[in-house]
């Protein structure tokens, strides 16, 4: 049996979105919330207000692993919706100067918006790897974010993970219609069922 890599040593970042948003994403890229209109929002409205006050709506948020507390909350609150995970290489984030918040951005009174290298070292990886969502500190660390300061074009995507063959086929059809070349992969374990 192969040993599972720690979250720190993995290579990807993940952005959860509704299938309903894919046409716009494939056409224009993943945009910061401040630059969006006419899309299916998946996040909590109260949290969005706080993110806007901190100007975090000017970034596209990614998480460090799939099935994090954010993903779970969104999928439980919208059981009828279909979701995909858009992934990018962490090396892309490093190369293009993305920012990092080493814990949930709304945990506590202030946020730490750090440069990639400094932020990466500031994350409590051992705490994150325990994934104990009943522990508030761990849950906050598990929602650390890597933030793209602008549009993330489909050319930067590594792969789109889907929860089923049905969603995968829909995603592939949308990719073809938009003339975008990104791999897809069905992986149910990356989604809450």
Instruction: Tell me what pLDDT residue 109 has.
Output: 62
pLDDT of 2 reads 45
Look at residue 117 in the predicted model and tell me its pLDDT: 97
At 104 the pLDDT is: 87
**15 labeled part of a ligand binding site:** yes
Report d(CA 32, CA 152) in Å as an integer. Answer: 9
Residue 33 banded pLDDT, cuts 50, 70, 90: confident
Report the b/e string of 9-45 with b at 16+ CB within 10 A.
Answer: eeebbbbbbbbebbebbbeebbbbbeeeeeeeebeee
Inform me whether the pLDDT recorded for 162 exceeds 90: yes
Q: Is 51 a catalytic residue?
A: yes
Catalytic residue among 3, 20, 46, 51: 51
Length of the chain: 193
Q: Does 92 belong to an annotated binding site?
A: no
pLDDT band at 55 (very low <50, low <70, confident <90, very high): confident
Per the annotation, does 51 bind a ligand? yes
CA–chain centroid gap for 128, Å, is 16
For residue 119, the model assigns a pLDDT of 96
- Average pLDDT (105-116) is 79
Question: Do 61 and 149 form a contact (C-beta atoms < 8 A)?
Answer: no
How far apart, in whole angstroms, are the C-alpha atoms of residue 84 and residue 65? 13
The answer, yes or no, to whether residue 4 has pLDDT greater than 60, is: no
Answer whether residue 47 shows pLDDT above 70. Answer: no
> Is 3 one of the catalytic residues?
no
Pairing state between β 159-162 and 183-186: parallel
Taking the model in full, what pTM does it have? 0.91
- Point out the catalytic residue in the list 103, 131, 145, 165: 145
């Amino acid at each position: 049996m192969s040993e599972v890599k720690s979250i720190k040593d993995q290579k990807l970042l993940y952005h959860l979105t509704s299938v309903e948003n894919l046409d716009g994403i494939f056409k224009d890229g993943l945009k910061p919330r401040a630059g969006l209109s006419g899309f299916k929002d998946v996040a909590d409205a109260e949290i969005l207000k706080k993110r806007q006050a901190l100007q975090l709506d000017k970034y596209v948020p990614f998480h460090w692993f799939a099935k994090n507390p954010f993903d779970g909350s969104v999928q439980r609150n919208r059981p009828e919706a279909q979701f995909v995970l858009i992934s990018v290489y962490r090396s892309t984030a490093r190369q293009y100067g993305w920012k990092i918040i080493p814990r949930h951005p709304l945990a506590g009174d202030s946020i730490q918006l750090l440069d990639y290298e400094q932020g990466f070292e500031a994350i409590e990886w051992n705490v994150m790897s325990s994934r104990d969502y009943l522990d508030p500190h761990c849950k906050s660390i598990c929602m650390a974010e890597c933030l793209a300061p602008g549009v993330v074009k489909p050319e930067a995507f590594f792969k789109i993970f889907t929860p089923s063959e049905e969603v995968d086929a829909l995603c592939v059809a949308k990719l073809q219609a938009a003339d975008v070349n990104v791999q897809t992969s069905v992986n149910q374990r990356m989604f809450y069922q």
